[in-house]
């Protein structure tokens, strides 16, 4: 019944023309039942797979090409399962897993995730924007949107016991949702979260920090140093953070990244603010930059079947405006190129960058959906 309905999707003519011109069969957007759902098992929970299967009353099919991934029928809801609540599994698309897996993260890598926060359901977005919610409410809001922070969690899982992930996003409330997920999955020890413009972000990883620098010795000095992150903050600390946010908003032009979370092994503990925000010149980035960079750029999402199906409710004219409007797609292309260029600038020599997007319409400069490029010392300009 459902299939019959969705196969009648009244895709706008211009979109159908675009798909056909690019050899894509418009009927792919009719598929609903055939698209499986995916989960990733937290490392260390492998032995519990049968328990998860019996609780969900379905067989989890191992995805051979993506370690830790399982597919399940799309009518199974994982949000209420015990395994999800206990942080043993998280929902993540296979395509997202593929982008992270292509980074080939190994222990000790310093990774930059330049557009780290997810685009959420509009209802959740508007709640988060108020920044006036209780922690429990935020947790619930984020839980109903199952894929929040999934790429970030996966990257941190792959790191193991060394290295770091620096996650950047221009949207404060969405990045705050990622912070909640890191706390839920206890994955954030090696992570820093910065609200910043990824086209201008300039901080390199903290490579030579001493994890053991004690807060005690740090506090002997005259200036303030970062102490271990506490998720439950005192009233004074919350007030100070709110003041810092206000100042950041006032000093927009000064474009300083705002640190909204750091793990105890991220290298931040013990640093002063000046040390944290220290930048290096482009030639030094060749040795001090990131080993891996993911640019999961802002896009129109027209490559996502599930996203296009949502226009059935939002109205097809909205698709015209959001996906096909030349002015919007042009400005998006400029943004994507700037993000890509800066991500590449921040790579160290020999590092890898993955560019991923679920955009297929728009400027032909981005003909490929994923771009992988190796940087060597002579190949610095993009
Ligand atoms: C496709 S989403 C990223 C999805 C995310 N990586 C995930 O796995 O859920 C694109 C993100 O880019 C962010 N963004 C847009 N412009 C940006 C900019 N100039 N700098 C950094 N992030 C930006 C948006 O806020 C949005 O959260």
Within 8 A by CB and 6+ apart from 48, the residues are 83, 88
Question: Predicted confidence band at 296 (pLDDT cuts at 50, 70, 90)?
Answer: very high
Least confident of 30-39, 175-184, 224-233, 336-345: 30-39
Q: How far is the CA of 281 from the centre of ligand 1 (A)?
A: 25
Question: Predicted confidence band at 11 (pLDDT cuts at 50, 70, 90)?
Answer: confident
**Residue 358 falls in the annotated catalytic set:** yes
What is residue 62's DSSP assignment? E
Whether 319 lines ligand 1, by a CB cut-off of 6 Å, is: no
**Cα angle 57-62-66, degrees, rounded to a multiple of 5:** 140
Whether 97 lines ligand 1, by a CB cut-off of 6 Å, is: no
ipTM comes to: 0.99
Whether 291 lines ligand 1, by a CB cut-off of 6 Å, is: no
Q: How far is the CA of 52 from the centre of ligand 1 (A)?
A: 32
Residues 181 and 317 in one domain: yes
344 near 373, Cβ under 8 Å?
yes
Q: Is residue 73 part of a domain?
A: yes
Q: Which is the closest atom of ligand 1 to the Cα of 301?
A: 1
**The pLDDT of residue 213:** 45
Domain with 277, as residue range(s), is: 2-33+107-374
Helical segments of 80-171, H only = 82-85, 94-102, 122-129, 135-144, 150-159
Residues 51 and 116 in one domain: no
Whether 165 lines ligand 1, by a CB cut-off of 6 Å, is: no
State what percent of residues in the chain have pLDDT above 90: 37
Q: Which is the closest atom of ligand 1 to the Cα of 299?
A: 1
296 labeled binding residue? yes
Q: How far apart are CA 82 and CA 105, in angstroms?
A: 29
Mutate to test the pocket of ligand 1, among 95, 117, 125 (most ligand atoms within 8 A of CB): 117
Question: Predicted confidence band at 36 (pLDDT cuts at 50, 70, 90)?
Answer: confident
Q: Is residue 382 part of a domain?
A: no
Question: Predicted confidence band at 288 (pLDDT cuts at 50, 70, 90)?
Answer: very high
Q: Which is the closest atom of ligand 1 to the Cα of 357?
A: 1
| Total domains present in the chain | 2
Q: Give the pLDDT mean for 169-185.
A: 89
**The pLDDT of residue 235:** 67
Stretch (H or E) spanning 165 = strand 164-169
pLDDT digits (tens, 9 = 90+) for 191-227: 999 999 999 999 999 987 554 444 445 445 556 899 9
Residues 226 and 333 in one domain: yes
Residues 214 and 257 in one domain: yes
Q: Is residue 13 part of a domain?
A: yes
Q: Among residues 56, 91, 126, which one ends one of the domains?
A: 91
Residues 79 and 178 in one domain: no
Residues 85 and 150 in one domain: no
pLDDT digits (tens, 9 = 90+) for 56-76: 888 999 999 999 999 998 888
Q: How far is the CA of 196 from the centre of ligand 1 (A)?
A: 11
pLDDT digits (tens, 9 = 90+) for 74-96: 888 887 788 888 889 988 888 89
Other CB atoms within 10 Å distance of the CB of residue 325: 15
Q: Is residue 97 part of a domain?
A: no
Least confident of 106-110, 154-158, 219-223, 257-261: 219-223
Q: Which is the closest atom of ligand 1 to the Cα of 171?
A: 25
Q: How far is the CA of 36 from the centre of ligand 1 (A)?
A: 25
Residues 223 and 263 in one domain: yes
Q: Is residue 380 part of a domain?
A: no
């Amino acid at each position: 019944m459902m299939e019959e309905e969705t196969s009648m999707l009244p895709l706008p003519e211009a979109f159908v023309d675009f798909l056909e011109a690019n050899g894509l069969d418009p009927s792919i957007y009719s598929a609903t039942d055939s698209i499986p759902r995916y989960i990733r098992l937290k490392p260390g929970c492998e032995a519990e797979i049968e328990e998860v299967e019996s609780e969900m009353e379905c067989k989890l099919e191992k995805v051979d090409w993506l370690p830790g991934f399982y597919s399940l029928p799309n009518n199974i809801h994982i949000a209420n399962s015990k395994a999800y609540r206990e942080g043993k599994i998280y929902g993540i698309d296979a395509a997202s897993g593929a982008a992270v897996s292509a980074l080939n993260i190994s222990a000790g890598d310093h990774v930059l995730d330049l557009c780290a926060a997810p685009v959420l359901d509009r209802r959740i977005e508007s709640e988060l924007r108020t920044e006036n919610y209780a922690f429990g409410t935020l947790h619930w809001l984020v839980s109903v949107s199952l894929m929040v922070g999934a790429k970030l969690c996966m990257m941190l899982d792959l790191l193991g016991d060394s290295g770091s992930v620096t996650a950047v996003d221009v949207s404060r409330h969405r990045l705050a949702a990622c912070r909640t997920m890191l706390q839920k999955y206890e994955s954030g020890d090696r992570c820093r979260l910065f609200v910043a413009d990824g086209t201008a972000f300039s901080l390199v990883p903290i490579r030579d920090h001493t994890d053991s620098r004690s807060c005690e010795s740090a506090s002997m000095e005259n200036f303030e140093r970062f102490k271990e992150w506490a998720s439950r903050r005192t009233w004074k600390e919350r007030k100070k953070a709110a003041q810092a946010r206000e100042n950041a908003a006032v000093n927009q032009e000064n474009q300083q990244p705002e640190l909204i979370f750091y793990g105890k092994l991220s290298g931040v503990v013990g640093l002063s603010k000046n040390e944290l925000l220290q930048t290096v010149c482009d030639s030094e980035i060749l040795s001090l930059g990131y080993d891996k960079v993911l640019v999961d750029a802002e896009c129109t999402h027209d490559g996502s079947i599930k996203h296009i199906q949502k226009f059935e409710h939002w109205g097809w004219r909205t698709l015209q405006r959001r996906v096909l409007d030349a002015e919007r797609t042009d400005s998006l292309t400029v943004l994507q190129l700037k993000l890509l260029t800066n991500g590449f600038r921040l790579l160290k020599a020999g590092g890898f960058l993955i560019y991923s997007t679920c955009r297929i319409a728009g400027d032909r400069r981005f003909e490929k959906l994923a771009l992988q490029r190796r940087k060597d010392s002579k190949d610095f300009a993009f």
